[in-house]
Amino acid sequence: MNARDIIISPVITEKTMTDLLPLNKYTFEVDVRANKSQIRDAIEELFGVKVVAVNTMRCRGKLRRMGRFQGRRPERKKAIVTLREGDSIEIFEGL
């Protein structure tokens, strides 16, 4: 997989910006099939930083109804990436 296929988008919420950013932790939505080493390599390649740790979590799709029809939202996978002291990612700094 390509690095741009693994990292889908940054997760920008109040918790990620106020609680995790001062700890040098960044949150991304990643491909469901990606493992921790692939996520680490993709972040280091795309942003030119050194990754210390990667924590992942899978979010199952919720069951939704539309009238008598029933379906699921898509599954997601999030990764919380801890960077080396002194490194930062610019897309989060401007927000």
Question: Domains in the chain: how many in total?
Answer: 1
Indicate whether 94 belongs to any domain. Answer: no
Indicate whether 91 belongs to any domain. Answer: no
Phi, psi (deg, nearest 5) at residue 52: -90, -45
Domain range for 47 is 3-85
For 14-52, the pLDDT digits (tens) are: 999 899 999 999 999 999 999 999 999 999 999 999 999
pTM metric for this prediction: 0.87
**CATH code, 61:** 3.30.70.330
Q: According to DSSP H, which parts of 1-95 are helical?
A: 3-6, 14-15, 36-47, 90-93
Residue 83's Cβ-count burial label (10 Å; 0-12, 13-18, 19+) is: buried
87 vs 84: CA distance, rounded Å: 6
For 43-91, the pLDDT digits (tens) are: 999 999 999 999 999 999 999 999 999 999 999 999 999 999 999 888 7
Indicate whether 90 belongs to any domain. Answer: no
Indicate whether 43 belongs to any domain. Answer: yes
